[in-house]
Amino acid sequence: MITSRALYTHTPVEGERGVCSAGHRLAAEAGVRVMREGGNAVDALCAAAFTAFVVEPASCGIGGYGHISLWLAESRRFVSIDAYCRAPLAARDDMFEVAPGSATYYGHPFTTGDRAATGPLAAAVPGAVAGFCEAQAKYGRLALERVLAPAIEAADAGVDFKFSDRLGVLDRVPEAEPSAETLAVLMPGGRFPRGGGGEPPDRMDTRPLARTLRLIARKGPAAFYRGRVAAAIERHVRGAGGLLGRDDLASYRPRTLLESPLRYRGHDYVSCYDQVAYEALNVLERFDIAGYGPDSFQYRHLAAEALALAFTDSMTHYGDPDFVASPVRGLSSPEFAAMRSRSIRLRRALSRPVTPGDPWPFDSSHPDTERVTGAGAFVPQSGTSQVASADRHGNMASCCISIGSAFGSLVYVPEVGCFLNNAMQNFDPRPGFPNSIAPGKMPIFAAPALVATRRGRALFAASGSGGYRIQTGVLHAFMNRIDHRMRVQAAVDHPRVHCQGAETVVDPRIPEPVRQRLRSAGHDVVEQPEAPGYWPYGRVCAVAWDPRRKRFEGGAGPSWQTAVAAY
């Protein structure tokens, strides 16, 4: 019997001068708009990100964080800006009671009452404003006011509740019992937000956010981290029993790095200090991915095994190296990956759960990272989006932007017009572990913002959303482009697998004989189809330069919540 299959994709988008791929049409258009006004790919990335902070309120915001990777053509160097959240200064490693039962998505225990994920204690110090303003000030070309203009215009207009926003409200609000301020925003008129079915959608009032963005546009990041905005955040969070305050905000610094790029098939790349991506690609580099073909059992099997190894190793060993001894160089070492790859068999899956490796003997074998600015004197549907951009000068950029879960901690600061993140859930709530809580510390975050070059020319950039499924989305898109020579949209659309060291999640569009071979090889196969509002293989935005055709390409998917613009 033959049955039809639903196909969702974007029409191909190409340009000669620049391209921007994002999680929302207005964000992608904002990126291209500032490039047409004389900005570069960094300006475009920041314009698109700030616009996304307005039009994707369930996914990202100025109360969240970002991971940014840049290729700067003029100086021929990579720059990574890790604008992740930090624990408040008053945070303690035992501040949460550990709940019995199963582990979270991040591999550590739940907290009693889910207090690390919902409510005022869940909010860590947001880094998005600092990170993007630093990127734009150092490496952009336009004034910040021009870069933020599209975001301010969007905030002035207000934001319709999209299908994904309504799903976030449906998923989180009933169980979370949020504050009156949060309910007033997410449940207009005291009811579930309307939209679809022919009725006009309810609109979120984003005028307070517009006022905050105007302050940032005029005064820079200090307008967010000091003064009345910081005071409002402290007053609201501490009044509700949280820790976040003005001292935390004033002390925040992103981690800006000149990473030593790693290499995949002759391409130099960085992924913003994401050791999972580095180890997985180092492992896959040792196999003939192109020779096996994009639809082969071997490609699916090797991708699952490499991801399983990399996730297991990072979840076991990674901690913020500014605070704990952590083998970050060992995890990204090609020699460590060579050792780990020897455990992979082409006809049989590794035993599950995967046993972690020991990266410590390899920790000094990989070049260290030059720190531009240090840590500073710090005296189901996830809330994440993404942007990738490229310009005619040869610059490329990508970023992953997030507030954690949908609408973050569900703490809304009405004077500021933003939801605060719930990044405290990314820490291990148990004392004595590499990823345990400490004041000013960044938790683990395994999501690549990837930029790749060849012979000094930027050729590919991508990032994604969807929790740890971002890894499989971005890495598959990269391999599909580099190994299988797909056009960018096809590279993003091609079905994927995902594994974090236990079951292997498989797109049912993969042919049944391949799925059956995965089962026979010992994979615990779980089939999960994509559907609107649900992306089990990550949501991906990518851009590329085709040196033969002298054109930019953009790709994005799933198509119902992404967009590409070019000129």
DSSP string, 198-213: TBPPPEE--HHHHHHH
Alpha helices for 8-70 (secondary structure H): 25-36, 41-55
| 373 a catalytic residue | no
The model's pLDDT over 466-507, given as tens digits with 9 standing for 90+, comes to 989 999 999 999 999 999 999 999 999 999 999 999 999 999
pLDDT of residue 531: 79
Question: Domain for residue 448, yes or no?
Answer: no
Residues of the chain with pLDDT under 70: 1-6, 105-106, 196-197, 365-382
For 241, how many CA atoms within 13 A lie in the half-sphere containing its CB? 9
Q: Is 73:458 a contact under the CB 8 Å cutoff?
A: yes
364 and 382 assigned to the same domain: no
pLDDT of residue 196: 65
d(CA 273, CA 80): 7
Catalytic residue among 384, 453, 504, 562: 384
> For residue 486, what are its two tokens?
């797909």
The CA distances from residue 162 to 144, 192, 210, 560, in Å, are 28, 12, 19, 11
pLDDT of residue 534: 77
pLDDT of residue 366: 53
> For residue 12, what are its two tokens?
């191909």
d(CA 563, CA 567): 14
161 and 183 assigned to the same domain: yes
Supply the Cα-derived Rg of the chain in whole angstroms.
22
Question: In a 3-state reduction of DSSP, which class is residue 371?
Answer: strand
* Residue 374 amino acid letter: G
363 and 377 assigned to the same domain: no
389 and 243 assigned to the same domain: yes
Question: Domain for residue 564, yes or no?
Answer: no
204 and 304 assigned to the same domain: no
185 and 39 assigned to the same domain: yes
Q: What is the DSSP letter of 531?
A: B
pLDDT of residue 130: 98
Question: In a 3-state reduction of DSSP, which class is residue 308?
Answer: helix
> Which structural domain, as residue segments, surrounds residue 136?
14-255+373-426
**pTM summary value:** 0.95
Q: Strands 504-506, 525-527: parallel, antiparallel or unpaired by DSSP?
A: parallel
Q: Determine how many CB atoms are found less than 10 A away from the CB of residue 183.
A: 17
Choosing from 426, 441, 460, the residue where a domain stops is 426
Dihedrals φ, ψ of 284, to 5°? -65, -25
400 and 363 assigned to the same domain: no
Number of domains in the chain: 2
227 and 109 assigned to the same domain: yes
364 and 377 assigned to the same domain: no
Q: What is the H or E stretch that residue 296 is in? A: none
pLDDT of residue 401: 98
Question: Domain for residue 542, yes or no?
Answer: no
> For residue 533, what are its two tokens?
């509002």
Question: Domain for residue 561, yes or no?
Answer: no
Of 397, 396, 401, nearest to 386 by C-alpha is 401
